[in-house]
Structure 1
Amino acid sequence: MSKWFCLKKKSKKRAKAKSDDTITTTSITPSRSNDTEKLNLTEEHCTDSMEPYIAAARDCILQVTNYIKHTNPSIELRVGFCGYRDHSDGHDRLQSLDFTDQYEQFTTYLQSVLPFGGDDIPEDVLGGLNEAIAKMNWKNGTRVLLHIGDSPPHGKNFTDLADSCPKGDPYGLTAKNVLKKMQSKNILYFFGKITDETDKMLEIFRGIIGEFPAYLESIYKAVPNYLKNFRLNIRQ
């Protein structure tokens, strides 16, 4: 998507993730098809609350994909991007690049993604997840959704903070129906935590789909752990 995005300043007091939080991991073995391993990878969140972190998040995503691409040459890597903002952002609420094996196209697109929008702390997390799960072209192979975000979804069950949609997603999406759809497609979920405001979301998500890898620390410190755990857990 071209650089028609704009930045607007927002002041929100956010609680950063504690640096001593633990990291949980799971094993990912890429699926084989005609002796070629296949890995589908997608990522998310780009409102202007992410402005302090967006460059580091982009760098993290690129380092992870670059690591997989160059150290696991037998893997047929397809990468895509699904970014979400908030309901107040209208047509700019969601943006995506469907899966591609053209790595340069992916990196160019990712560099064009700028943070803007969002009128409260909760964001359209469920809409973003649903877009990635239901509308992107997941092919056979190992499917990984790498979600980087600093805000909870809308709804009183996710946050006590000011919320423009306290009853939850205005389109009727729920964490249960979105995450169960993700499970039905055998998509593995990773989360990169930036603030403590996503703690309740993580608790609710785990109550629906069980344990999943969560990198509970500042995004600026996350890259080495992403690489470490992909090195350990994505194996031939």
Structure 2
Amino acid sequence: MVLLSQELDLAFVVDGTGSMQKSIDTVRKEVNSIARAVRDRFPALCLRVAFVCYRDYNDAAPITSLDFVEFPRSASARSSVTAGGQEGDRVFQDFVAGIKADGGDDDAEDVFSGLEAAAALSWRSANRLLVHIADAPMHGQRYHTFDCTANPKRDAYPEGDKNGRSGADILDRLRRGACVTKYYFAHLNSCTQKMIDTFREECGDPDWIQSDTLSNVSQLPELIVEVCSSTVAGTLATAPVRGLGRSGRREVIRLPISRLVPDWTKEREVPVSAQKVGLPIGIYSAARLLSDVRAGKPLPLVPNSDIRTIKIAAQPFASDGVTRWPFYAVNATPSASTGSPRSQQQQQQQLVMKRFKRPSCKTEVQVHRRERYLEQMETQVVAEVLAAEFNTQARLKNVQAKEISFVPVSLLRVTESGCPEEKRWFTAEPLLQGGAFTRFSNNAGYVNANDYRATLQAFTHWTHQFSDGVLMVTDLQGVLADGRFVLTDPAVHCGEHLDRFTSTNLGEEGAKLFFQTHECNGVCKGLGLRPHPLQPSGGHRLGMVTSVGADRYYDKASP
């Protein structure tokens, strides 16, 4: 099986004027190490790389470009050759070695032509990343803060592009025309900041453009590895798997974002009915859970009388989630003891309400079905039950592991009259507080190298072994607060029931992708977890293991 989103088109767009030779040379020298580092995180990755060098209007060679070439997966498997018979990585390096930084009479450059050339490349992979490296802005005072009155040589075209092109139009050709997943800009100084701020306004989706400021060009490779990894990881959560996955990448209907918490005294109350899993965590044992999952039984549900009235923000506060929009909310249900509104308690009753994103090819009715929201809640409850058992076993074995919990989730239905059925459904959970929200891993092998912790790696490995290979909990995200992980929105891989646990269930393929990047640590060893045949061994990954029977792998008699 091939995970379609384990592929990446990476296009470098680089200012090629006189001051940029060091940056050009860095890309040439480090591109292979960048490729290796990204593949360490995504071993099955198919990587294609392109290069666009732009200068200024009147330079002898205003645009020099190389269309995508495929990089071989390893030095011993050099099958990625171009029509001329050379390997793609060598073609790329030879091309970039021939570029000499020159030209650029004034300080501003013809950035638009570079972006136009990038839009015309032969993009085709599921993940499409543009990395733009420059130390000068586009022509026009809309894009910089140069004082052109005092020094006209800073920008010979202060009124804007010589050819009358629109930044919004060019960015739209990249974002919507070429379907570039992410535009990453590396600031080499402060003079490009206004250009990127303006690009964010013009492109229609500010989150599409990501940027970092470099204190030294030597930082480039590490930053590029991270942005490549996050780009692939961002689409893997709904990655289509040939013969397996249930949903792929589709353009979603965008909603306006507001990161401000509403003034709840001005928001109206909305009546709701709520449900939750019927047995408390701890009573609903992990052993019973696994038995119910294998038998295909639904989890028991009961009414949740703690939530009967809510207040909810009109707009989501983020767009980062692959499948759902998050909304600030508060539980406005009257106190059970006094019957009075919870105005003094609302600080403790902050919620996040979540609604599915709607692909442009689907209707509201198709997307917002009760079954989908119930399935999402069920996935998180499974993770919650297993996390409680993991914590217990770690304590019993005196393993130095941080505690893991998942926030409790309820299924909510708006009950006020006149509301269409497709507008009624949400999930609700407490607002995560006490730390920076971090995506530690995803459901297809991605590991956040900076923030992933030994406990979380071990937890995912443990869920697979504890369940005898029936399921695995991945896609770990949330906060580390007061020495414990509080998580939300996990994925559950379950090969026996691919029609369960939402479209992020990649079954045995998902488990395989995790083990290909997992190296056991002290927590794994303390819990007695056995290495999987697909795991790296001694710093090297094992060969092509196509399938491992869970009953063979977890035979209790094996060492």
CA-atom RMSD, angstroms? Answer: 2.3
Question: TM-score, normalization: structure 2?
Answer: 0.34
Give the alignment partner of residue 198 of structure 2, picking from 179, 204, 217.
204
Once the two structures are superposed, residues 38-89 of structure 1 have per-residue CA deviations (whole angstroms, 9 ceiling, x without a partner) of: 2111112211121354333444555433433565331211111111011110
Question: TM-score, normalization: structure 1?
Answer: 0.76
How many Å separate the matches in 1 of 2:125 and 2:232?
16
One-letter amino acid matched to 1:190: Y
Give secondary structure in 1 for the equivalent of 2:58: helix
Give the equivalent residue in structure 2 for 1:165.
157
Give the equivalent residue in structure 1 for 2:54.
84
Q: Which moved more, 1:70-79 or 1:81-90?
A: 70-79
Q: Which has the higher helix share?
A: 1
CA, structure 1 residues 190+105, in 2 after alignment: closer, same or farther (shift >3 Å)? same
Q: Which moved more, 1:70-79 or 1:43-52?
A: 70-79
Q: Which moved more, 1:116-125 or 1:178-187?
A: 178-187
Q: Which structure has the larger Rg over C-alpha atoms?
A: 2
Give the alignment partner of residue 168 of structure 2, picking from 141, 158, 176.
176
One-letter amino acid matched to 1:227: V
Give the alignment partner of residue 129 of structure 2, picking from 140, 144, 154.
144
Give secondary structure in 2 for the equivalent of 1:88: coil
Give the alignment partner of residue 7 of structure 2, picking from 25, 38, 44.
38
Once the two structures are superposed, residues 120-146 of structure 1 have per-residue CA deviations (whole angstroms, 9 ceiling, x without a partner) of: 11111111011111x211114211111
2:7–2:46 Cα contact (<8 Å) kept = yes
Give secondary structure in 2 for the equivalent of 1:115: coil
How many Å separate the matches in 1 of 2:137 and 2:94?
28
Q: For structure 1, list consecutive stretches of 5 or more residues without a partner in the other structure.
A: 1-30
2:214–2:220 Cα contact (<8 Å) kept = yes
CA, structure 1 residues 229+158, in 2 after alignment: closer, same or farther (shift >3 Å)? closer
1:63–1:227 Cα contact (<8 Å) kept = no
1:87–1:124 Cα contact (<8 Å) kept = yes
Shift of 1:225: 3.0
Give the equivalent residue in structure 1 for 2:184.
190
2:136–2:192 Cα contact (<8 Å) kept = yes
How many Å separate the matches in 1 of 2:31 and 2:138?
22
Give the equivalent residue in structure 2 for 1:114.
100
Shift of 1:192: 1.0
Higher relative CO (Cα under 8 Å, sequence separation at least 6) belongs to 1
What count of residue pairs does the alignment treat as equivalent?
202
2:6–2:232 Cα contact (<8 Å) kept = no
Give the equivalent residue in structure 1 for 2:213.
216
Once the two structures are superposed, residues 16-52 of structure 1 have per-residue CA deviations (whole angstroms, 9 ceiling, x without a partner) of: xxxxxxxxxxxxxxx944xx73211111221112135
Once the two structures are superposed, residues 94-125 of structure 1 have per-residue CA deviations (whole angstroms, 9 ceiling, x without a partner) of: 00001111122112212222111110111111
Identity %: 27
Q: For structure 2, list consecutive stretches of 5 or more residues without a partner in the other structure.
A: 71-87, 149-153, 234-443, 445-559
1:127–1:173 Cα contact (<8 Å) kept = no
CA, structure 1 residues 57+100, in 2 after alignment: closer, same or farther (shift >3 Å)? closer
